[in-house]
Amino acid sequence: MTDLNGARVLVTRPAHQAENLCRLIEQQGGVAVRLPTLEIVECDDLFAIQKNLAHLESFQWLIFVSVNAVNFALKANDGKIPRFKTQPTCAAIGKATANALERAGVVVDLTPEPPYNSEALLAMPELQHVQGQRVLIVRGEGGREELANTLQSRGADVHYLNVYKRIMPRMNNAEIILLLEQNQLDVITATSGEVLQNLLIMLDATRHQQLFNLPLVVVSDRIKQMATELGFKRIAVASSPSDEAILETVNQSNRGIAWPN
């Protein structure tokens, strides 16, 4: 299949997470233009991560918010999530996160249906009555607060375990500037609001209007709202955060399907 017919698609994901989407774009006859606007790195205090993981038996719930949360927790703790006689109920916000846990030998008790976000997890019956229960949320520094705030409002005792942090990488953006100058960039993909904010920082303000006018594929209504507030005008939301869903939405733009304003 060559649905993309040479369209140039900007992939802004962190480098270590971008290659599958880039491969799919190229298999569909597109050109994947790589510009990681976010880098995921481990937190400095590995001892604190190890200490928390060594006391999981004191929690009733263990929630992993992303594949990165799984991978960096494993990296900080010699590739293992400890097991105890009294195990917390383990929840993964998305299917990919659940798969990463299962590959590490962790039994996943709860995964929401699409769209695989905090709201979907919070809507599940198992999390409606958590009064007095201790919850450990494994995430990156500065993540969303919706999950913790809602669980706390339901009476849970919520704790965070930050296992990674996000930084803006230093990248050579000459290729992107040239493509914009020649009007040869066709679609932008973005999987978080922070990715879009960093994209605007990494490119000179004189290029922003060109970016705002390009079709933009995001993975949630929340990110769409953030993109709108930043100034993007042609925004479509993929049906899920998966690479396949992102690609399908990119393909729609190439088939002439009207974009939301």
CATH number for the domain spanning 234: value is: 3.40.50.10090
Q: 5 in helix, strand or coil? A: coil
Digit-coded pLDDT (tens) for 191-203: 999 999 999 999 9
Is the pLDDT at 1 greater than 90? The verdict is no
Is the pLDDT at 260 greater than 60? The verdict is no
Same domain, 162 and 46: yes
Same domain, 73 and 138: yes
In the listed set 140, 166, 192, which residue is the last one of a domain according to the structure? 166
For 75-101, b/e burial (b = at least 16 CB within 10 A) is ebbeeebeeeeebbbbbbbbbbbbebb
Digit-coded pLDDT (tens) for 133-191: 999 999 999 888 999 999 999 999 999 999 999 999 988 899 999 999 999 999 999 99
Residue 224 inside a domain? The answer is yes
Same domain, 80 and 119: yes
Same domain, 96 and 127: yes
Same domain, 80 and 148: yes
Residue 243 inside a domain? The answer is yes
Question: Where residue 68 falls among pLDDT bands split at 50, 70, 90?
Answer: very high
E strand spans, 85-237? 89-92, 134-140, 157-167, 187-189, 215-218, 234-237
Same domain, 144 and 185: no
Same domain, 153 and 81: yes
In the listed set 166, 197, 213, which residue is the last one of a domain according to the structure? 166
At residue 201, the pLDDT reads 96
At residue 178, the pLDDT reads 95
Q: How many domains does the chain have?
A: 2
At residue 33, the pLDDT reads 97
Same domain, 190 and 178: yes
Same domain, 145 and 50: yes
At residue 116, the pLDDT reads 87
Backbone phi and psi for residue 136, each to the nearest 5 degrees, phi listed first = -115, 120
Same domain, 158 and 242: no
Residue 3 inside a domain? The answer is no
Residue 206 is part of which domain span? 8-38+170-254
